[in-house]
């Protein structure tokens, strides 16, 4: 790995004046070697490698949204590969039997055990005002109905899907964009939202040498 183009060994990147440059170089390295959100790179590869259709892609993206863990999403998909054929009773029985074996990321640990109820809310949302009944048709309808697809989809997901808060909604929509070609682009990083996650705000402020603003309204 040729790290020379990303890191200059004669620079102390810990110093405040060099942090911004360090962040830019690190981010460039992460993008080049697919170290930034590697689960999404892997999912996209698997979708393409096994020629998933759009319904399969959207289904796995939702599973990733509720678990935030690609291996668990894949395990659930292998057991329930067709969104339309998922039996809620069987899903509940399977979830109870495998509860201790299913892994969730720390950020979604409170979703664990709620998969059946989350699926019910997703299934109901997909079929609401959607005569065709497919996931694709649901997303297409939302995309066509507004000049601000990101805001519209954000409101739909966070307002309708059980236990999808700000963080779950964000990385679910990221998966939709990067792995299922749902064209939504966030207008900003929601840095002024001081009621939600603060880690991305604090990290960016530190990278810019503005850590004294951490914890304050921007």
Rounded Cα gap, residues 58 and 8, in angstroms: 42
Q: How confident is the model at residue 194 (pLDDT cuts 50, 70, 90)?
A: confident
Helix-helix angle 54-67:166-180, to 10 degrees = 150
Around 100, how many Cα atoms within 13 Å sit in the side-chain half-sphere? 1
Convert the pLDDT of each residue in 43-66 to its tens digit.
999 999 999 999 999 999 999 999
Angle at which helices 149-160 and 166-180 pack, to 10 degrees?
Answer: 130
pLDDT category, 25, cuts 50, 70, 90?
Answer: very high
Least confident segment among 4-18, 23-37, 75-89: 4-18
User: Which tops the pLDDT comparison, 39 or 216?
Assistant: 39
Residues shown for the chain: 218
Supply 75's token pair: 């395990």
Eight-state DSSP code of residue 181: -
pLDDT level of residue 199 (50, 70, 90 thresholds)? confident
How far is the C-alpha of 29 from the C-alpha of 107, rounded, in Å? 25
Tokens of 35: 């170290």
Q: Please state, in angstroms and rounded to a whole number, the distance separating the CA atoms of residues 167 and 124.
A: 22
Rg of the chain in Å (alpha carbons): 20
114's tokens: 């709620």
Token pair of 177, please? 């964009």
Q: Give the chain's end-to-end CA distance (angstroms, integer).
A: 39
* pLDDT per residue as tens digits for the range 75-117: 999 999 999 999 999 999 999 999 999 999 998 999 999 999 9
Between the CA of residue 54 and those of 51, 123, 140, what are the distances in Å?
9, 16, 12
Would you give the distance in Å from CA 38 to the centre of its chain?
Answer: 12
SS (H, E, C) 157-218: HHHHCCCCCHHHHHHHHHHHHHHHCCCCCCCCCCCCCCCCCCHHHHHHHHHCCCHHHCCCCC
């Amino acid at each position: 790995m040729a790290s020379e183009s990303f890191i200059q060994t004669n620079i102390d990147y810990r110093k405040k004046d060099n942090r911004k440059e360090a962040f830019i170089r690190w981010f460039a390295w992460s993008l080049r070697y697919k170290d930034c959100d590697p689960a999404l790179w892997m999912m996209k590869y698997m979708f393409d490698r096994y020629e998933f259709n759009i319904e399969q892609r959207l289904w796995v993206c939702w599973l990733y949204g509720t678990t935030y863990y690609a291996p668990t999403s894949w395990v659930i998909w292998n057991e329930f590969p067709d969104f339309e054929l998922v039996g809620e009773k069987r899903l509940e029985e399977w979830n109870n039997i495998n509860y201790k074996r299913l892994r969730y990321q720390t950020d979604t640990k409170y979703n664990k055990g709620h998969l059946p109820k989350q699926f019910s809310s997703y299934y109901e949302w997909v079929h609401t005002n959607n005569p065709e009944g497919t996931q694709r048709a649901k997303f297409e309808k939302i995309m066509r109905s507004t000049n601000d697809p990101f805001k519209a989809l954000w409101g739909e997901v966070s307002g309708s899907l059980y236990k999808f808060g700000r963080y779950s909604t964000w990385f679910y929509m990221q998966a939709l964009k990067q792995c299922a070609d749902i064209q939504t682009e966030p207008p900003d990083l929601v840095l002024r939202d001081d009621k939600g996650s603060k880690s991305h705000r604090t990290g960016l402020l530190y990278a810019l040498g503005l850590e004294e603003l951490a914890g304050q309204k921007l």
